[in-house]
Structure formats: C-alpha cells, structure tokens
Chain A
Amino acid sequence: MQTANVNRLTPYLFLAPAAIVMGVALLYPVGYMIYASFLDWNPSQRIGEAEFVGLRNYTKLLTDEAFRESFFVTLKFASIVVSLEMLLGVGLALLLDRNIRGMSTLRTLFILPMMIAPIVVGLMWRYMYHPTVGIFNRTLKSWGFEPIPWLSDGSWAFASVIIADVWQWTPFIFILSLAALQSLPQSAMEAARIDGANGWQLIWFVKLPLMMPVLIVTLLLRLIDAFKVLEVILVMTNGGPGLSTEILSLRISRTASEFRELGEAAAMSNYLLILLMILTAAMFLYNKAMEARAARLRAAAEADL
C-alpha cells in the first residue's frame, strides 16, 4: 500500500516505540544474561568486576545433582499437567458442545481460575491442603479416614501442585477447543451423520481431525507456559519438601537470591531458554506448514473450478 502521503519511513515510525522498549528491556537483558552466564558474578559486584570463567557455569551445572533434579522435575511437571489438561479440556469441550441455556455464563465461570493471580491460586490451594484447617483433610477426617500429607510428603506435594495447575489451566484448553468445535463446518458433520456415523465415530473421525490444527497450537502454547510456572509452586511448597517440587524457575531464583550465584543462575536461565526456543520454533514451523497446506488446498480448489 503505497500512496502519496506514506513515505518509506512511516512503518519504522510506527515500530520505533515498540522496538526501543523491547530492545532496552528484553533483547538487551537477554544478551546481558548470555554474557553473565560466562562470569563468576555475585549481587554485590558490578558486572565489570566479575571474573570471566568461560563455560565453567555450564559444565558445573551438568554435574550438579540439584540442577539435574529440578530439570527433571520441570519436564515431569510440564508433561503431566499438559497431558491431563489436554485430555480434560478437550473432553469437556466435546461434552459441552451443545445447544444449552446459559452457555456464555458457564464459559465465564470456567475462565475465572485462569484470570486469578498465580500467587492467590497458590494461597487458596495451600489453605485447602492445610493439614488441619484445610477442607480436604477435614472432610477425610469427618468420614473417618486418615489425613493425607498433601504438601509435606514429596510425592503427595508433587501431585498437589499438579492438581492446582490442572484446576487453573484446564479452562484454557477447554475454551479454545470449544471455540474450535463451534467453528467446524456443519456440512462435514452432516455428511458424516448421513453416512451413518454414530456419536463416537463422529468425534473420532470428523471432529478431532478437523480440530487438530487448533489443538496442536493450543498444546504448544500451554507447554511453553507450563515451563514458566513459578508462583503457584513458590507459594504452595517453595520447591519442597526436599527438591520434590523445585522446578527450574524456582531453582533459578533461589540460585540468584539465596546462593547469590548470578553467573550460575544466568547459565541455568540459558538452558531453560534453549528448551523454550525449541518449543517456539516447533510452533512457528508448524504454523508455516499449516499456512502452506492451506494455500495448496486453496490453489487446488481454484484449479478444480
């Protein structure tokens, strides 16, 4: 779009503020962090005074038991919560994709959990998991069962933080799947019904395949976010007991603030960033592939006419 009063500088003028802010407060810090990861640096020093140690932070981390543990905990946490949320969210969407009264109110109520501050979500669950005043153990007790050490036993604590995350984020998958379902072409569904497909066959052979592009992007978005989780776990268990719920973000912040090892925390951040970059690249490539496929289909359809 090139008209008389749009000169070549205009797009750059529109972009400049965003470029400056993101440059100063995102790109520069990320570059700074990469540099810092080669230093032996603590918070009381200026960065120029820190000693350059090359790859030592990186190699040290590879043999660091606690770091390996938290890397493993993060992977385990992300894969479990995302699988559970996908199953529950898509299942709910398939179940509730009907013409019912109050659907919009229902959707509003369902998105509440994801709008509430992670800090507050952590608080609510910590209260509910409380050994004596929490609702779970109170209920168990009133039914005559033994109380459960929700947050004070390693395996239970891991399960407990998973439950809290599933509570907060299943709605995300649910809303997106429901939107995908409701925008499916009715013609495909009717054709399948006329061919005699039953409910399950309709879901398995028509709905799910048609939803797949949205589901994959949803999965990747959620996976990227699951690797960033921090506050809910910080409030509920602060990584404990032991290292059972110490995810990478917590390990990074603890290495920086408690152990005062900024260089090591930076190297750790880089490992996390590489992981996230792979996921984002996967999403980007997938989108490109889908766009290309859509373009091909469009071209084929036009050729047919």
Chain B
Amino acid sequence: MSAKTYDKQNPAFYALLVALVVMAIGPIFMMLTTSLKLNVDITSDTSSLLFMPTLHNYETVLCDYLWYEAPNVDYCDKTFGRALVNSLIIALISTALTLVIGCMAAYAIVRFRFMGRDTVSLTTLMMRMVPPAVLLVPVFGIWTFQFGLDGTRGGIILVYVAMNLPFVIWILQSFIVQVPIQLEEAARMDGAGPFQVFFLVVLPIIKPGLAAASIFTFRVAWNEFLLANALADRNSRTVPVTIVNSLTEYDIDWGVIMATGMLLAIPPIIFTFVASRQIITGMTAGAVKG
C-alpha cells in the first residue's frame, strides 16, 4: 500500500458514499439475488432477503452445456446455450478485426501527411453518430437481397466491425500521438519498413489504448440487439435477441430471465474490474481530446 495520506472526512460524507454505492450497484445485486431464487421465493410476500440460494435457474438456462445431468430440469431448451456460443464468437471476432483495422487507420491519420487526410478524419467522425436504428432498414435490405449474408454470423460481424471502427479510430489516435517519434525513427534507421514499425514498435507501446478500445468494442458487439435481431436467424441468434424473444407481456419467468441477464452481464463486469483504469482513460480520451 502506498504511503499516501488521506484527508479526514465527515461521517455524513461516508454515509452519502454508502448510499451512492448502493444506488449504483443495488439493481445489479437485485438481479443476482433474483437469479438465485426459486419462483416461490420471488413471488412470496415475505422478506426478500431470506431465501435458500439455488443454481436451478442457471441449470435451466445452461442445460445443454452442463457436464452433469441437472436433477430438476425436466425440459431442456437449447436456445440459450446456442445463443451464448454465437454471442461469444461474434463479439470476439469482431473485436479482434476492429482493433487491427482501426489501429492501422488511426496510425495512418496520425503519422502520415497525405491527400484527403482531413476528409478521412471528418468522415470517421460523422460515421460515429450513425445509430443502429438508422442502419436497420438498409442493412436488412442489402444483407438480404445483395450480399446474401442474412442469418449468418459473418453478416453480423461485418456490421459490428463497421459500427465500432469510427470510435476505435478516434480513441486510438490520442494514444498513437503520444508514441515518441524518435523510437519509430530509430527503427526506420535500422531498416524496418512502415508495417514492421507499426506492428513491432507502435502496437506494443499503445497496449493500454488497445485494451480500452477492445473493451468498448466488445461491449457494443456483446450487448447489441437491434441489428442482431434483424439479421440473425434461428441458428445465429445472440443472447440479447434470445432475451427479448423470451419476454412475454405477462407471466415472465423472472428467475430464469434474471439468470440469463446475469450471464450476459458477467463478461462486461469482469472487464470493468480488471481494466477500469483503461476504461476511464479511454472515455476521457474521447471527451478531453475531442
């Protein structure tokens, strides 16, 4: 622990802090506890804090992927397990592609003077604001009638890469600017070509930037619903699509749906804990550097 000294604070200040933390994570905690409850406990009138935690809802959701026979799941619905695999594949591949492609573009914009540089940079900025709802109609039409990509994972990956690129290019620029140019020049002197300089010198230095960019990209690809819903068929559905499909007007199985929500929330929560510093730097780069 550092030898940093802390200012003494008023007890009321700490009370306020506790209240704020409860407000921030209370709903998440509630989702977690509900996912561990049987429906009897969810609907019962008595205190909601005293209950026997059970993994039953998770067993129902993941029935297809359990290494043991879940004793009390009598009907196994394979929808969710399949969606989870789809979500993972789509989010991971699109994140990797976005990073490589975005990084190269950001490097070109920062380090080279070339014709059309301002146009590229402005177009990127403008593309950043295109909301998924606006892409809905054309992407549905083009993917179905022209590219023949509807219902494939590749089709969804392509949209996500395109959607995430503007943001990734934007935040990586502010990281690349900080790479000392002397390092690159030294590598050049040793005879490295521009691609070698990029992959061997620049990329290792901007790792924190890459971490931030990958988390933001993964988050979008993992969480997106609208376009996935328009493009996916039975076999390429992602988790958000399955969740919305299983929501009915009445009579929602809250335990199961909260377990599903929890499974969708876990990867982003883990990322947040592992890389909160990078996430905050990444967000700040977006706003402070403009």
Contact = CB atoms under 8 A, between A and B. Distances in A.
Interface of A: 1, 3, 5-6, 8, 10-12, 14-15, 17-19, 21-22, 24-30, 32-33, 36, 43, 46-47, 92, 95-96, 98-101, 104, 106-113, 115-121, 123-125, 127-128, 130, 132-133, 135, 138, 167, 171-172, 175-176, 179-180, 183, 214, 217-218, 221, 224, 227-228, 230-231, 234-235, 248-249, 252-253, 256-257, 262, 265-266, 269, 272-273, 276-277, 279-280, 283-284, 286-287, 290
B288 A228 contact: no
Nearest to B161: A21
Contact of A112 (B192, B240, B269): B269
A276 B159 CA distance: 20
Among B4, B100, B265, chain A packs the most CB atoms within 10 A around the CB of B265
B141 A228 contact: no
A11 B114 contact: yes
Nearest to B196: A5
A117 B31 contact: no
Contact of B223 (A46, A119, A218): A119
B166 interface: yes
Contact of B162 (A24, A217, A248, A269): A24
Given A5-B194, A123-B243, A228-B133, 7 more contacts: A15-B120, A21-B165, A26-B163, A112-B25, A230-B131, A273-B134, A279-B129
Nearest to B128: A280
Given A25-B162, A120-B265, A127-B254, A283 B24 contact: no
B193 interface: yes
A31 B73 CA distance: 50
A144 B9 CA distance: 37
Interface residues of B, number: 103
B264 A119 contact: yes
B226 A230 contact: yes
Contact of A120 (B31, B134, B169): B31
Chain B's interface: helix, strand, loop or mixed, by majority?
A: helix
Contacts of B208: none
Contact of A124 (B27, B219, B268): B27
B137 A269 contact: yes
A210 B45 CA distance: 53
Contact of A167 (B23, B122, B129, B141): B23
B198 A14 contact: yes
Contacts of A221: 286-287
B280 A230 contact: no
Interface string B151-179: 00000001101110110010000000000
Given A230-B226, A265-B137, A280-B125, A123 B286 contact: no
Contact of A123 (B7, B31, B112, B129): B31
B127 A109 contact: no
15 contacts: A1-B112, A1-B113, A6-B194, A11-B112, A14-B112, A14-B198, A15-B104, A24-B162, A33-B135, A106-B17, A112-B25, A112-B28, A113-B25, A113-B28, A253-B133
A231 B226 contact: yes
Contacts of A286: 290
9 tightest Cβ-Cβ pairs between the two chains A and B: A25-B162, A29-B138, A117-B223, A18-B105, A14-B108, A249-B133, A11-B112, A228-B131, A287-B290
A124 B104 contact: no
B34 A127 contact: yes
A16 B192 CA distance: 21
B181 interface: yes
B279 interface: yes
B114 A12 contact: yes
Nearest to A118: B223
Contacts of A121: 27
Contacts of B30: 124, 127-128, 135
B134 A18 contact: no
Contacts of B194: 5-6, 10, 14
B287 A273 contact: no
Contacts of B113: 1
A193 to B, nearest CB: 15
B158 A25 contact: yes
A283 B290 contact: yes
A279 to B, nearest CB: 7
A269 B265 contact: no
Contacts of B142: 28-29, 32
B21 A106 contact: yes
A276 B125 CA distance: 12
Among B9, B27, B113, B223, chain A packs the most CB atoms within 10 A around the CB of B27
A14 B104 contact: yes
A21 to B, nearest CB: 5
Among B125, B162, B226, B264, chain A packs the most CB atoms within 10 A around the CB of B162
Contacts of A15: 104-105, 108-109, 120
Contacts of A265: 136-137
Given A92-B20, A117-B240, A46 B145 contact: yes
B78 interface: no
Contacts of B271: 115
